[in-house]
Amino acid sequence: MSSLSNNSLVCITGAVAVGFVVGTLWKSYFQRIVYALKKNPNHQLRKEEDAIYVGIDLGGTTIGVAVVNSVGNKLASAAAAISDGNQYNTNNNGNPRSVDSVVGLMCALVHEALNLARVENNSVHMSIDNVVAFGIGAPGLLNISKGTIQAIANFEWTDVHITNIVAKRLQVDTARVYLENDANAAILAELWTGAGKEKKNVLMLTLGTGVGCAIMSSGHLLRGCSGDAGEVGHTIIVPNGRVHGTTGVRGIFEAYASATAVVARVDEELQSCPIPSPLRQLQAAGTLTCAAIFQYSGLFKEQLSEEFREQLNTGVATDAKCSIAKKIVGQTIQYIGIGCINVCRCYDPEIVIITGGMTGAGNSFLNAIRDAYCEHHWNITAPNRNRIVLASCGTDAGAVGAAAAGFLGTHGTFDFL
């Protein structure tokens, strides 16, 4: 009798445990559905394989659009120069950078990308009505919650309610359109389908004209009280150091670690040092680029990426070497390694993703940064050189990341359903 009672107790206990787990999973499932419906009351639940998201990447000179499925795979894309936007200007003011022109071009590209997706995927689902959410990735000073661009470089815009305007032009509910900072959009792409997939603590450094940064901490994007969190490029690493840009602050990180800084520092060295250099011809012609400097540094054994090599049309033998280029590129790598140390001390990410034009130098560049990171690592713990990785989403990262912003705005997590 006792044995039977014990067996019965085990069965009952097991059933309760299983029921608790199943109930918890269903609770989570329905909580996510409720979240989606609260964020977008008109959201229609559909098979996830049929769900599509559209990302719009507003750049300084181009606009890119991507149609993406529910697991972050790009189905189609379209892009155009902002100068092409004049044909969509309903105000006839002749300004391709006006709100009217830019939004018109955005929406034309959305329709173009959806048409391509419909043809390439042989699916009738690729239509405006079946887009769950639209995301817009933009630079500048943004109010994410209100969907407004308060100010943006190279555009004479002030307090533009971009989500409302795009929604009206596309004839969709405003609740389906989301705004995100372009640096955050880039990290969202990597978190959804790239180097940061299934990670909750990730930091991205963008090495380009400046040094951008985006931070995912414990599954949440860090924005700060005024949206300025992540301005790592403007942290001071050399007191009273080089002047860079118009911020009025000397010695900031991007004055030593950006592509712009590489060109400026080599230009300064060429002017002050009389030694022969294959770069003098480029300097005289005004065509000195970061790509050329990397090439002539002789530090990278592997071929530079195609995008990097396209910038090399120098007219100078590519097997030539320059000691000035070698010196500046070597110092730049040291500064980037120190920057990686600093962000790891402040934010403790699982990985630091490096992206931007300078990463066209490939794995040799990555390994040099890893070496610098390890060189400046403390002795409290052993350095993990694999903590520093290259981005993997490619040139569509901005548009895919904008689509990811729409996905997160609707579902609240990449794990929805």
Whether residue 44 has pLDDT greater than 50:
no
Rounded average pLDDT over 213-220: 93
Same domain assignment for residues 26 and 140: no
> Do 281 and 367 share a domain, yes or no?
yes
Query: 207 with 234, same domain?
Result: yes
Tell whether 17 and 55 lie within a shared domain. no
96-149 confidence digits (pLDDT tens) = 899 999 999 999 999 999 999 999 888 777 889 999 999 999 988 899 999 999
Considering only CA atoms, which of 109, 81, 108, 83 is closest in space to residue 95? 83
Same domain? For 32 and 120 the reply is no
Check pLDDT > 70 for residue 19.
Answer: no
160: CATH: 3.30.420.40
Residues 265 and 297 in one domain: yes
**Angle separating helix axes 99-120 and 162-170, nearest 10 degrees:** 50
- Tell me if 16 is assigned to some domain: yes
The domain in which residue 30 lies consists of 1-39
Same domain, 104 and 81: yes
- 35, 64: one domain: no
214/239 same-domain check: yes
Q: Is residue 417 part of a domain?
A: no
Label residue 36 by pLDDT band (50, 70, 90). Answer: very low
Non-local CB neighbours of 223 within 8 Å, separated by 6+ positions: 144, 229
Number of structural domains found in the chain: 3
Predicted confidence (pLDDT) at residue 11 exceeds the cutoff of 90: no
Domain assignment of residue 416, yes or no: no
Q: What is the pLDDT of residue 50?
A: 72
User: Is 223 a member of any domain?
Assistant: yes
Rounded to two decimals, what is the model's pTM? 0.80
Decide if 248 is inside a domain.
yes
| Residue 270 within a domain | yes
pLDDT tens digits for 257-271?
999 999 999 999 999
Give the 3-state secondary structure of the chain: CHHHHHHHHHHHHHHHHHHHHHHHHHHHHHHHHHHHHHHCCCCCCCCHHHCEEEEEEECCCEEEEEEEECCCCEEEEEEEEHHHHHHHCCCCCCCCCCHHHHHHHHHHHHHHHHHHHHHHCCCCCCCHHHEEEEEEEECCEEECCCCEEEEECCECCCCECHHHHHHHHHCCCHHHEEEEEHHHHHHHHHHHHCCCCCCCCEEEEEECCCEEEEEEECCEECCCCCCCCCCHHHCECCCCCCECCCCCCECECHHHHCHHHHHHHHHHHHHHCCCCCCCHHHHHHCCCCHHHHHHHHCCCCCCCCHHHHHCCCCCCCCCCCCHHHHHHHHHHHHHHHHHHHHHHHHHCCCEEEEECHHHHHHHHHHHHHHHHHHHCCCCCCCCCHHHEEECCCHHHHHHHHHHHHHHHHHHCCCCCC
Is 362 among the domain residues? yes
In this structure, are 138 and 24 located in the same domain? no
Is 384 within a domain? yes
Same domain for 252 and 180: no
180 and 294 co-located in one domain: no
